[in-house]
């Protein structure tokens, strides 16, 4: 099977873009419970508020990333935190049973990704690039890439009906330059929901108030009070859009872009459907608003 075939096929499929009654199905893959949240939480809230369907999938159960506890005890905490975060985001949240720190790009794991994408009948699939500082992040990127195209092949995972179209696969933002930098195709203004994103993220207590501060040597700076914690998290995770994100914001929001404080940006992966700008606008209806 070969590639030129695909370029034609984008045209025909672009006419039947959405799965049901105008609802867009978005699925986001992260390596750990809290990764989807950070990368796409604001956008997810915007989708959810418009009635679209978002699912977060953590490929590992997070059973390693903590300074004091570990194993099943930690996994259960992480799963509960993810469930609570999902409620706050307004999305479905699934945590797969793979060891944290041991995610490998196996065929088994690829098939799990394929099944999740199919069951969600996804229009949009979001994942990290295969370039990131944590091996689990990189292999999440590889696994999701490796699911692209295969989601439409009926003989693969035949018990789960294939998608009728290859979704748009997108990378979430990262800061890595090698072997090539992240180049956002779109950027989403999340200012309106930034507080909700921070509140939802704060459900991952064992991550944002225990493990990550520990790795940074700031554990003693973490407030005890719930409200102060939100402020702490908000300050910590706040940053002005970088030049590339700003350019993407301008493309989609025009002059309003200059005022955007918080944005999430995404790059179209070359291995799924290649959308036109019009299609991107329809797939991300919050763009420009």
Token pair belonging to 214: 């520990």
Q: Which is nearer to a copy of itself, 52 or 121 (CB)?
A: 121
Residues 112-131 that bind a copy of itself (CB under 8 A): 131
- Per CB under 8 A, 276 contacts a copy of itself: no
Among 22, 49, 51, 69, binds a copy of itself (CB under 8 A): 69
Query: 253 or 264, CB closer to a copy of itself?
Result: 264
Q: Which of 46, 85, 113, 157 binds a copy of itself (CB under 8 A)?
A: 157
- Give, as ranges, the residues between 244 and 273 that touch a copy of itself (CB under 8 A): 270-271
Q: Minimal distance in Å, beta carbon 228 to a copy of itself? A: 18
Nearest distance from residue 270's CB to a copy of itself, in Å? Answer: 5
Binding mask of the shown chain, residues 169 to 208, with x at each position contacting a copy of itself by CB under 8 A: -----xxxxxxx--------------------------x-
Q: In angstroms, what is the minimal distance from the CB of 27 to a copy of itself?
A: 18
Decide: 125 and 29 in contact? Cβ < 8 Å: yes
CB nearer to a copy of itself: give 35 or 123.
35
Please give the distance of CA 103 from its chain centroid, rounded to a whole number.
Answer: 17
Closest to 26 in 3D by CA, of 48, 49, 58 = 48
Maximum Cα–Cα distance across the chain: 58
- The dihedral built from the CA positions of residue 39, 45, 47 and 53, taken in this order, carries a sign that is positive
220 binds a copy of itself (CB under 8 A): no
Q: Name which position in 68, 225, 226, 255 contacts a copy of itself (CB under 8 A).
A: 68
DSSP 8-state symbol, 53: E
75 near a copy of itself (CB under 8 A) = yes
Which of 52, 187 has the CB closer to a copy of itself?
187
CA atoms of 69 and 255, how far apart (whole Å): 48
Q: Where are the beta strands (DSSP E) in the chain?
A: 25-30, 53-58, 92-95, 124-127, 168-172, 186-189, 263-268
Q: Which candidate, 120, 116, 140, 124, places its Cα nearest to that of 46?
A: 124
- How many CA atoms does the CB half-sphere of 94 hold within 13 Å? 17
Q: Closer to a copy of itself by CB, 52 or 268: give it.
A: 268
In angstroms, rounded to a whole number, what is the distance separating the alpha carbons of residues 75 and 84? Answer: 14
Which of 64, 192, 230, 244 touches a copy of itself by CB under 8 A?
Answer: 64
Instruction: Please identify which residue in 42, 63, 91, 184 interacts with a copy of itself, judged by CB under 8 A.
Output: 63
Q: Is 18 in the site for a copy of itself (CB under 8 A)?
A: no
| Strand-strand pairing, 263-268 and 186-189 | antiparallel
- The window from 43-51, 94-102, 116-124, 242-250 that contacts a copy of itself (CB under 8 A) reads 94-102
The structure tokens listed for 66 are 């903590």
């Amino acid at each position: 099977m070969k590639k030129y075939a695909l370029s034609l096929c984008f045209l025909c499929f672009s006419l039947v873009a959405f799965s049901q009654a105008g609802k867009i199905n978005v699925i986001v893959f992260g390596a750990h419970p809290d990764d989807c949240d950070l990368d796409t939480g604001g956008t997810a809230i915007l989708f959810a508020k418009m009635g679209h369907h978002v699912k977060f999938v953590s490929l590992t159960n997070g059973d390693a990333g903590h300074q004091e506890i570990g194993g099943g005890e930690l996994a259960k905490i992480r799963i509960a935190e993810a469930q609570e975060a999902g409620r706050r985001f307004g999305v479905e949240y699934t945590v797969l049973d793979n060891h944290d720190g041991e995610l490998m790009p196996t065929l088994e794991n690829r098939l799990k990704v394929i099944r999740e994408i199919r069951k969600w009948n996804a229009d949009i699939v979001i994942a990290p690039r295969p370039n990131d500082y944590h091996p689990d992040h990189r292999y999440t990127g590889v696994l999701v890439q490796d699911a692209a195209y295969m989601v439409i092949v009926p003989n693969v995972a035949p018990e789960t009906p294939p998608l009728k179209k290859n979704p748009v696969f997108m990378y979430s933002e990262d800061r890595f330059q090698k072997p090539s930098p992240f180049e956002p195709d779109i950027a989403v203004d999340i200012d309106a929901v930034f507080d909700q994103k921070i509140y939802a993220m704060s459900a991952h207590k064992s991550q944002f108030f225990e493990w990550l501060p520990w790795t940074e040597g700031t554990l003693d700076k973490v407030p005890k009070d719930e409200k102060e914690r939100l402020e702490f998290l908000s300050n910590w995770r706040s940053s002005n859009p970088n030049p590339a994100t700003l350019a993407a914001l301008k493309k989609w929001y025009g002059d309003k872009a200059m005022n955007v404080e918080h944005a999430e940006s995404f790059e179209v992966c070359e291995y799924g459907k290649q959308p036109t700008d019009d299609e991107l606008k329809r797939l991300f209806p919050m763009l420009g608003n």
